Amino acid sequence: MRLTVLGGCGAWPTAVQACSGHLVEYDGFRLLVDPDYATLPRLLRHATVTAVGAVPISHGHPDHCAGFDPLLRARPGDLGHQRRVDPARLERLPRLGRTGE
């Protein structure tokens, strides 16, 4: 298993670090955990957007989930750079979190 810290600087990103975000890789499967505002550019240094298999989100604070939408928009075939997110297409990338958040 490999853990890559994509950010960890607090409630907002800085010029050099994202708030939160971890890439967990095991046996060819990749989890993007708690993606924040600035996680996507850092993720792209390690994996493509289509290589992410699931996105566990611990809670609904923006510094732990705001990066989910840009990830979806960047995935060809899921949202294809659309402005409006179609909820029916979100099933292609599992988002794991508590109900209601």
Q: What is the DSSP string of the chain?
A: -EEEE-B-SSSS--SS-BSS-EEEEETTEEEEES--TTHHHHHTTT--GGG--BEE-S-S-HHHHTTHHHHHHHSTTTTTT-SS--GGGGGGS-EE--TT-
C-alpha triplet 40, 69, 23: angle, nearest 5°: 40
Q: What is the pLDDT of residues 2-27, one digit of tens each?
A: 999 998 888 888 888 888 899 999 99
- Residue predicted with more confidence, 77 or 4: 4
